[in-house]
């Protein structure tokens, strides 16, 4: 990357703090531990080693959900299992405790406010170059420190699609949606396939076979999936992965996907119009602006990612204004040095940034590239209320890595009691949908719990190299499929599932946008 002008213009990027690799929850999950266990004093917490000894029935040194059946530990299992592979290791449980300020050796205390004020509990802020971050696959795993900081990138690779046809798959019936789709199909020299209900397609084997056959006969290359708002749900997306991973015999996705979605007929028509008129963006338009959420003196991953990308953009002679939002437990957290850096001290979780102060607001309004890191729920990303983003986005491409950035209005999965970071859920728009309505052409997000930078950066990198929306999306999902060794028949979540954080969560990344659009011009 040094010495070359990498094209990233017109982007908005939000990056979560690597949640699934170490979930952030501001409550100590083990606080209801039994009064006596493994030699621990009455009222104290057992050590991680004692937990393993107590519940490890098969003696493999790890824990599974079937082994951990005793409350309150059973309620914490999914939070221990940071990579959602069904096994909680000693390292994962220890990491979970460290992030909550709970000593691994089994005491219930966390660093007190006096320690935080004196800086004793402050984590170190290390800013590596992006090319120093390790690339991870099934054979290469991140170090404990890299996992703690989400300072790594998942390896992806290209997977050839042999077809050359543009296909739109939709369950829309209203003319206000079908007319724009017909214009797009004509513009792409493509075709439209209609089904009754995309949310239920995976339940009908005959219909799945029919659609799969149609895609094979059409020799699909780019697949635009356009659900109705009420059929945009988790199992709809997972059902699509089931469909296009079985076009041939390998387990990979065999088409370049993208979703077309907006909140109304008018906004949908505008999205399609922007897709048709879109031109790849060049390096001259690059004006980055970074936003980071810093919840505590121990949680600096988001701030680190702003620093990493600032160094990257500096190599392209681009300045990066940074706006950092500090939580009540982060008053003594490190600040990034340099000019064009502002901070906002929030008073609590409900104290969201609703308006940028000057002169940060002026820099924000000029930005073509907005980069955000932090927690998220519908209506909020990284401590910023979605109403603060503005009604008109100058940027047309959005990468949003915070949790619930692309949450559906109705979910197929059990409701979570609380989001990462301790945030409560409200019936508000997801950031991705609001971004589309406000003028974005392409939005990357996640329906539930995002892993953030390690999965987001490969998408950005692929677009920087000139690949289409759908190519980058396919490479990400295929990388996850390969990493987790997933196969057909295991994508969709069972209706009987009681786990609000099932393993399939990792596949719920969303790209809203025409899959044939090339966001950035390669250099």
Give the pLDDT score at 99: 66
- Asked if 125 and 334 count as a contact pair (C-beta separation under 8 A), the reply is yes
Residue 361 in tokens = 């607001």
Distance, first Cα to last Cα, the chain: 11
Residue 434's pLDDT band, with cuts at 50, 70 and 90, is: very high
DSSP E strand boundaries for 217-260? 220-226, 256-259
Q: Measured between alpha carbons, how far is 222 from 474 in angstroms, rounded to an integer? A: 10
Per-residue confidence (pLDDT) for residue 244, from 0 to 100: 96
Q: How far is CA 93 from CA 86, 232, 233, 422, 456, in A?
A: 13, 34, 31, 19, 25
Most confident of the following: 21-30, 186-195, 245-254, 358-367: 186-195
Read off the pLDDT band of 483 (50, 70, 90): very high
Please check the confidence at residue 380 and state whether its pLDDT lies above 90.
yes
139-194 per-position pLDDT tens digit: 888 888 888 889 999 999 999 998 999 999 999 999 999 999 999 999 999 999 99
With 0.95 as the threshold, say if the pTM is over it: no
**pLDDT the model gives residue 20:** 36
Give residues with Cβ within 8 angstroms of 53, minimum separation 6: 38
Tell me if residue 100 falls in helix, strand or coil: coil
In terms of DSSP H, where are the helices of 59-112? 73-80, 90-99
Residue 39: pLDDT band with limits 50, 70, 90: very low
Rounded to whole angstroms, the Cα distance separating 433 from 447 reads 11
Task: Write down the mean pLDDT value for the chain.
Answer: 85
């Amino acid at each position: 990357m040094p010495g070359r002008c990498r094209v990233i213009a017109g982007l908005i990027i939000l990056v979560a703090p690597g949640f699934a690799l170490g979930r952030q929850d501001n409550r100590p999950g083990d606080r209801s531990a039994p009064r006596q266990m493994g030699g621990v004093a009455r009222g104290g917490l057992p050590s991680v080693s004692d937990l393993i000894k107590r519940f490890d029935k098969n003696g493999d040194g790890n824990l599974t959900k079937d082994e951990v059946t005793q409350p309150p530990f059973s309620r914490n299992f999914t939070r221990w299992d940071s990579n959602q592979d069904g096994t909680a290791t000693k390292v994962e449980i220890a990491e979970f405790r460290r992030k909550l300020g709970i000593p691994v050796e089994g005491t219930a205390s966390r660093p007190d406010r006096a320690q935080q004020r004196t800086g004793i509990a402050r984590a170190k802020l290390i800013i590596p170059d992006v090319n120093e971050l390790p690339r991870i696959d099934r054979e290469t795993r991140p170090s404990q420190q890299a996992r703690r900081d989400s300072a790594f990138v998942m390896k992806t690779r290209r997977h050839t699609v042999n077809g050359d046809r543009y296909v739109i798959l939709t369950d829309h019936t209203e003319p206000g949606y079908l007319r724009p789709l017909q214009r797009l199909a004509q513009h792409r020299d493509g075709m439209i396939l209609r089904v009754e209900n995309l949310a239920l397609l995976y339940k009908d084997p005959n219909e799945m076979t029919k659609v799969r056959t149609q895609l094979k006969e059409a020799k699909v290359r780019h697949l635009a999936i356009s659900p109705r708002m009420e059929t945009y749900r988790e199992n709809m997306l997972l059902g699509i992965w089931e469909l296009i991973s079985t076009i041939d015999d390998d387990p990979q996705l065999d088409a370049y996907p993208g979703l077309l979605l907006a909140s109304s007929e008018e906004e949908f028509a505008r999205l399609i119009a922007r897709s048709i008129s879109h031109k790849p963006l060049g390096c001259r338009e690059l004006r980055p602006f970074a936003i980071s959420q810093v919840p505590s003196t121990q949680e600096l991953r988001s701030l680190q990612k702003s620093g990493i990308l600032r160094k990257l953009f500096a190599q392209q002679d681009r300045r990066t204004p940074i706006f950092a939002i500090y939580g009540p437990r982060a008053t003594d957290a490190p600040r990034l040095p340099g000019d064009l850096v502002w901070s906002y001290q929030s008073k609590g979780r409900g104290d969201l940034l609703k308006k940028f102060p000057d002169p940060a607001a002026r820099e924000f309004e000029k930005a073509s590239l907005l980069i955000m890191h932090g927690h998220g729920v519908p209506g909020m990303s990284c401590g910023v209320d979605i109403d603060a983003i503005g009604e008109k986005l100058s940027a047309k491409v959005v990468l949003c890595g915070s949790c619930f950035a692309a949450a559906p209005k109705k979910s197929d999965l059990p409701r979570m009691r609380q989001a990462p970071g301790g945030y409560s859920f409200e019936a508000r728009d997801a950031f991705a949908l609001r971004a589309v309505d406000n003028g974005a052409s392409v939005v990357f997000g996640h329906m539930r719990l995002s892993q953030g930078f390690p999965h987001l950066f490969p998408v950005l990198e692929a677009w920087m190299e000139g690949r289409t929306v759908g190519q980058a999306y396919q490479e990400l999902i295929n990388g996850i499929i390969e990493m987790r060794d997933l196969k057909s028949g295991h994508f969709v979540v069972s209706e009987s599932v009681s786990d609000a954080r099932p393993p399939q969560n990792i596949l719920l990344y969303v790209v809203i946008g025409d899959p044939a659009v090339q966001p950035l011009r390669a250099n």
